[in-house]
Amino acid sequence: MKNLENLPEEIFDWLAEKTFSELTEAQRQKVRAYLSEADYENYRSIVFDFQELDHQVTADSSASSPPTSTTSFLKRVLNYPIPLYQVAAAFLILAMATFAMNDFGEEKNLPKAEEKSGVGKSLAKDDYPEELVFNL
């Protein structure tokens, strides 16, 4: 057998396209210089079967959506690495804020001042001071 590295590239192409009988006479002669007809048919059968297997995978490999600026941005945000100490600090601040809010939120009972001033209250006629009443 001739040196494999000199094998014409087209023979590898023909294995994927044609049986030996489908080759032209010139092509058959070229093949015979390197392979027997039986070997060609065996290799052709393997390539043909592989293409059938490959086609089954193709049916399942339909493209997903291409990356876009949105998916790229979201992925970067979701995958952004946050140091552990920052997470701990955030929790601590949140806890302190929660306690502080609870503290200010409690209702405080302030004592009511006694009402001493009589301003604004109406008096009954009998209670008017006599010196201030003029009968016109």
Kind and range of the H or E element at 26? Answer: helix 25-32
| Closest to 7 in 3D by CA, of 34, 44, 29, 25 | 34
Q: Give the Cα-Cα-Cα angle 15, 21, 22 (nearest 5 degrees).
A: 65
If binding is defined by CB under 8 A, does position 69 make contact with another protein?
A: yes
With CB under 8 A as the contact rule, the residue among 54, 74, 90, 100 that binds another protein is 54
Closest CA to 18 of 33, 26, 4, 59: 26
Q: Does 37 bind another protein (CB under 8 A)?
A: no
**What would the two tokens of residue 58 be?**
């193709």
Among 33, 75, 87, 92, binds another protein (CB under 8 A): 75
Contact status: 17 vs another protein (CB under 8 A)? no
Indicate whether 67 belongs to the interface with another protein (CB under 8 A).
Answer: yes
Tokens 């502080």, located at residue:
100
* Residue closer to another protein, measured from CB, 16 or 96: 16
Binding-site ranges for another protein (CB under 8 A): 4-7, 9, 12, 15-16, 39, 42-43, 46-47, 49-54, 57-58, 60-64, 66-69, 71-72, 75
